[in-house]
Amino acid sequence: MAQKAKKSTKSSRQVTAAKNSGSQKGMVYSATALVVIVAVIATFILIKLNKSSSSATATNSLAPAAVVSAVTKVPNSALAAATVPTSSIPLPYAVKNTALLTSNSKPVVLYMGADYCPYCAAQRWPLIIALSKFGTFKNLHTTSSSSTDVYPNTQTFSFYGSSYSSPYINFQSVEMQTNIPSNGSYTTLQTPTTAQNNIFNTYDKPPYTATATGIPFIDYGNQLIEGGPAYSPAILAGLSRASIAGSLTITGTVTNQAILPSANLIIASICKIDKNQPGSICSMAPVATVEKLLK
């Protein structure tokens, strides 16, 4: 589970008008100098913003339709065959005596991550598979984890720029930072709302998660808390997105054995908070078996 990188901050200098020297000529020179300084500062800010914007879009692009289809349409039969090794995969932490978090009368599933994070890169594969059983994604994007972090350039998706609709749950995603280095951290991509940040600060720490301020972080309606992926990003090392997507339903491949059980764990967590809807997915043997353990 990656530690949340500190967000970079930008500072600006305040320009104050020169005091009246008592000389009309001095006032003209001061005013002229002030205009020049302001213009220079404005130019630098504009260049900085344009450069940041173009860099951010270069690392995050619309996912190919074939890859999206392979990940969002994993057959139920493939998931039913993927048992969850609960002895090696940690179960989400069950929060006691807390009201179910809802939005528009639907349970909230909150994901917090970042594009640079290799652990988030690994987690998005089973998360997208699982969420696709409850709703529909539009405009999923692709990205890769940081080239300078552990498990560099892990191929994955980004929720930034996408949308999701479901009759059962309200999925909220926050990709907090890009994979673009900036002063020892990474540039900001999305900022959590106050409510999302409060949840993150409340539950993203022991005993709910193994470490404090780590990502990826998933909150299932304030009932179950999941910190970190259920499998190592090392499994995806050197693999393209197309090869990962294409191997998901091939029994015996390392990606099949790691990602589908992780998806079943996420499905079970969602079924736990949405009254087991839809029944066709929540009643599957691996899902139903794991759900009974989530208490």
* Residue pLDDT, tens place only, 87-111: 888 899 999 999 999 999 999 999 9
pLDDT of residue 196: 98
Please state whether the predicted TM-score (pTM) of the whole model is above 0.85.
no
DSSP letter assigned to residue 7: B
> Bridge partners of 134?
none
Which parts of the chain fold into alpha helices (H)? 24-58, 65-72, 76-80, 118-131, 194-203, 241-247, 254-273, 279-282, 285-291
For residues 121-139, average pLDDT: 98
Conformational region of residue 57, where left means phi above 0, alpha means psi within -120 to 50, and beta covers everything else:
alpha
For residues 21-29, average pLDDT: 37
* 3-class DSSP assignment, residue 227: strand
pLDDT of residue 217: 98
Ordered by start, the domain boundaries in the chain are 21-58, 62-291
pLDDT at 7 over 80: no
Give the mean pLDDT of the chain: 85
Query: Which range among 56-65, 145-154, 251-260 shows the weakest confidence by mean pLDDT?
Result: 56-65
Instruction: Grade residue 5 by pLDDT with cuts at 50, 70 and 90.
Output: low
pLDDT at 16 over 80: no
Q: Are 183 and 217 in contact (CB under 8 A)?
A: no
DSSP letter assigned to residue 233: G
Task: Give the pLDDT confidence of 265-278 residue by residue, as tens digits.
Answer: 999 999 999 999 99
Q: Please give the backbone phi and psi of residue 149, each rounded to the nearest 5 degrees, phi first.
A: -95, 180
CA pseudo-torsion sign 50, 51, 54, 56? negative
Instruction: Grade residue 213 by pLDDT with cuts at 50, 70 and 90.
Output: confident
Instruction: Grade residue 201 by pLDDT with cuts at 50, 70 and 90.
Output: very high
pLDDT at 233 over 70: yes
Task: Give the pLDDT confidence of 68-77 residue by residue, as tens digits.
Answer: 999 999 999 9
pLDDT of residue 59: 67
